[in-house]
Structure 1
Amino acid sequence: MKLAITQLYLVRHAHSEYTPDELTRPLSERGKVDAKHVTELLKKEKIDAVCSSPYKRAVETVEGIARHIGQEIKIYEEVRERTLSSKLVKNFDEAISLLWEDPAFSLEGGESNLTAQKRGVQGIFKIIEEYNGKNVVIGTHGNIMVLIMSYFDPQYDISFWRKLEMLDIYCLTFDDDNVKIVKRIWTQSAELTAQKDRSL
């Protein structure tokens, strides 16, 4: 069966309060404000469904648009953040650099780029199959989001990841299983600029 045009809105979650528990880490007060702006933006995009990583910060970022369209958020384990290590990582940037230098390399108890990417892309294809021809919001995370995007186009690399904001939204337009258009539609800094302009 040929699939129709499907638009996936990959939403990197808003700012969160750090806790060691990945699953239950909530949005910060700043993050909650940004999530409201995302809801208002996505109201204009004719969203049909909302999916998310199981992590609370991702769910909280997209739950507003789910309420607006009267749909439950469907959880996809595949789009959760990559597991970096089973141990505390002292130098996060160094660890990420090592992982991107060698896609097959992994830290102790963690996922390599290849492993995490395969998982994330499997989730994307499942979503495309289930929501064929729909506009779907996906609450997710920075590293797995870029790994997914890099599967379709290698220009989305560690340099791109470093420029990603918290919060950030990219719309990927698929024809069948092929990405035809990638468009950045919202950033946290863009909203700050808009707020400044409105106050003038």
Structure 2
Amino acid sequence: MQTHLYLVRHAHSDYTPDEKSRPLSPKGAKDARKVAVVLSKEGVDRVISSPYKRAIQTVEGISREINPEINQWEGFRERLLSTGPVADFQAAVAKVWEEEHFAFEGGESNQQARARGVKEIKKVLQQYAGERIAIGTHGNILALILSHFDSCYGIEFWRQLEMPDIYCLSFDGLELKNVRRIPLGAKAI
């Protein structure tokens, strides 16, 4: 019996310094409707999300369709790069990917963020074995989780992720058997 986890990178949001309550942009809201349609066709059983508003909003359409409750799991939040602003975001992300144990002041290293994300994945697999679960999350933590299972998922993978993006991870117990990207199609519903 396989468990299928649909890691959903949130749709586009307009930048604000308030990470937790940053909402989707109008484009992001339109794209979130595509996510609901696609996940509906996948037969998703339940929805979990990062507690960040943009991640919740990206998966709330499928949640309303199957079960209005979205379980918020703190471990699926985006990796904290630093407690303060960084001068060059792309360079800062490159630095933490180059040095596995390096963290900016108050931030998480790749090792720390990956361990947090993988711990949550294992909890989901144990609690909801045999189900299809949509998980609203973020680009960096999604790439870090995947990199735990296969080193081909690194910074270049992260750079090519779209907003939104969906990757289905199929597990047999705790063993990852397959990863496939779920295309969203061209038209919003």
What TM-score, normalized to structure 2? Answer: 0.97
- Who is 1:57 aligned against? 54
Structure 1 outlier segments of 4+, above 4 Å: none
Which residue among 2, 16, 19 is the counterpart of 1:19? Answer: 16
Q: Does structure 2 retain, via aligned residues, the 8 Å contact 1:6–1:132?
A: yes
Unaligned runs of 5+ in 2: none
CA distance in 2, matches of 1:124, 1:156: 16
Unaligned runs of 5+ in 1: 196-200
Number of residue pairs matched? 188
CA distance in 2, matches of 1:33, 1:83: 27
* Alpha-carbon displacement from aligned partner over 1:87-113 (angstroms, at most 9, x marks no partner): 111100100111011110000110000
- Who is 2:33 aligned against? 36
- 1:110 matched to 2:96? The reply is no
Query: 1:106 is matched by which residue type in structure 2?
Result: A
- Who is 2:126 aligned against? 129
- Who is 1:198 aligned against? none
Give 3-state SS (helix, strand or coil) of 1:171's partner: strand
- Who is 2:160 aligned against? 163
- Who is 2:88 aligned against? 91
Query: 2:94 is matched by which residue type in structure 1?
Result: S
CA distance in 2, matches of 1:43, 1:91: 39
- Following TM superposition, by how much is the alpha carbon of 1:71 offset from its aligned partner in structure 2, in angstroms? 3.8
Which residue among 67, 74, 79 is the counterpart of 1:77? Answer: 74
RMSD over aligned CA atoms reads: 1.2
Which residue among 132, 146, 149 is the counterpart of 2:146? Answer: 149
- Following TM superposition, by how much is the alpha carbon of 1:186 offset from its aligned partner in structure 2, in angstroms? 2.2
- Who is 1:101 aligned against? 98
- 1:47 matched to 2:44? The reply is yes
**Identity %, equivalent residues:** 55
What TM-score, normalized to structure 1? Answer: 0.92
Q: Does structure 1 retain, via aligned residues, the 8 Å contact 2:96–2:103?
A: yes
